[in-house]
Amino acid sequence: MIHNFNAGPSILPKEVLEQAAQSVLNYNNTGLSILEMGHRTPEFTAVMEEARALVKELMNLDDDHQVLFLHGGASTQFMQVPMNFLDPKDTSAYADTGVWSSKAIKEAKLFSKVDVVCSSKEKNYSFIPNDFAVPNDAKYFHITTNNTIYGTQWQSIPKTSNVMVADMSSDIFSRQLNFNEFGLIYAGAQKNMGPAGVNLVVVNQNILGKVKHTIPTMMDYRNHIAEGSMLNTPPVFAVYVCMLTLRWLKSIGGISAVEKLNQQKAELLYNEIDNNELFKTNVVKEDRSKMNVCFVMNDPNLEKPFYEYLKSNGVYGIKGHRLSGGFRASLYNALPLSSVEYLVELMQEFKQSQA
Ligand SMILES: *Cc1c(COP(=O)(O)O)cnc(C)c1O
């Protein structure tokens, strides 16, 4: 058996994969594959509508918040966000908490002035800054709620008077937040809500249409809203698998239920890292991510043998990102508690083998 700790694309629920595989051959007994149906057919329109409705229901969104499934991954949002909210003389504010934040900042700078109000770069992004002020005139304040590469996470969302924009790619649907407090949320699907090829955008429609410049048709959120997220051909299969994953999430009790499970998984693993003398984490305790657990070994020479040991025992996708080294166990929604229990057992066995 394989235990899949991949950071993204990553583990999906088995029943979702089974249903998706079936639908590739014969969708709902139509005799057609989901891959060969027009996106404007009643069959696919129903998929898109159900996916959007499930997002709305699971996140408890009000009617001002619109749900879109767009192309281009989270990285396209790095430019689409500033394009929709900033004129050249405007300012935006960003927190720099890792690679993805700094990529978002780089794109925003193409459009106007960016105020980087805080950064943890000097300490290799091992913590989340808490001492900063956001200028009132910043059109929005952008944070990356979970830093996939460095394993840090905002435990609470900073309160400012600005419109909040969040990249939630790696912790979307993992914990309860008041999602209506955000002006815009975006997330690449391939971490915690589906396969690669689509990203989710949740946007408060009241904040749109305030810039003076014209926005290219495909980049303007208002056009996507007006067309029910079908301005052009959507990535039909990716949306379909997201819809199945959201159905699965609802069936297990929604975000509050999965949050408890995620809490348990993270506690179990951090507890072992803290108590097993072979391991440690460089991430500041209060800022530890419940999604991506990054850790290293006190003796770097043991990392390769430990990695081989994990691999030979069916643990998959746990190598750390090339920028942070060591190990990274991604504990996304679909990863069962038993996989974390198994990993912890292997950590203990490895320690005994070294004694
Ligand atoms: C993976 C990731 C991205 C990039 O996503 P793409 O869909 O590959 O563009 C952006 N932000 C965060 C936080 C991520 O984890």
CB 86 within 8 A of CB 112: yes
Using CA atoms, how far apart are residues 237 and 235, in angstroms rounded to an integer?
6
Amino acid type, 250: K
Query: What is the C-alpha separation between 17 and 280, in angstroms, rounded?
Result: 35
The answer to whether residues 152 and 108 touch, using CB atoms and an 8 Å cutoff, is: no
pLDDT one digit per residue (tens) for the chain, 355 residues: 899 999 999 999 999 999 999 999 999 999 999 999 999 999 999 999 999 999 999 999 999 999 999 999 999 999 999 999 999 999 999 999 999 999 999 999 999 999 999 999 999 999 999 999 999 999 999 999 999 999 999 999 999 999 999 999 999 999 999 999 999 999 999 999 999 999 999 999 999 999 999 999 999 999 999 999 999 999 999 999 999 999 999 999 999 999 999 999 999 999 999 999 999 999 999 999 999 999 999 999 999 999 999 999 999 999 998 888 899 999 999 999 999 999 999 999 999 999 8
Residue nearest to atom 12 of ligand 1 (CA): 169
Cα 316 to middle of ligand 1, angstroms: 20
- Highest CATH level, class, for 14-251: alpha beta
Quickly count: other Cβ atoms within 10 Å of residue 171's Cβ.
27
Of residues 90, 96, 100, 220, which has the active-site annotation?
100
The structural domains of the chain, with segments of one domain joined by +, span 14-251, 254-353
In this chain, the answer to whether the domains covering 14-251 and 254-353 adopt an identical fold is no
Question: What does the longest C-alpha to C-alpha distance in the chain come to?
Answer: 68
Taking residue 317's Cβ as centre, other Cβ atoms within 10 Å add up to: 17
What's the 188 CA to ligand 1 centre distance in angstroms? 6
Contact 152, 98 (CB under 8 A): yes
> Is 167 part of the annotated catalytic residue set?
yes
> What CA–CA distance (Å, rounded) separates 94 from 138?
10
299 C-beta neighbours (distance < 10 Å), count: 11
The top-level CATH class assigned to 254-353 is alpha beta
The DSSP bridge pattern shows strands 91-96 and 113-119 to be parallel
Q: Which of 136, 141, 139, 149 is CA-nearest to residue 116?
A: 141
Q: Assess whether the C-beta atom of 333 lies below 6 angstroms from ligand 1.
A: no
Output the CA–CA distances (angstroms, integers) from residue 157 to 95, 130, 308, in the order listed. 12, 11, 39
Residue 191 is a catalytic residue? yes
Q: What is the pLDDT of residue 322?
A: 86
Distance 350 CA to ligand 1 centre (A): 33
Distance CA 220, CA 351 (A): 54
- 90, 139, 154, 167: the catalytic one is 167
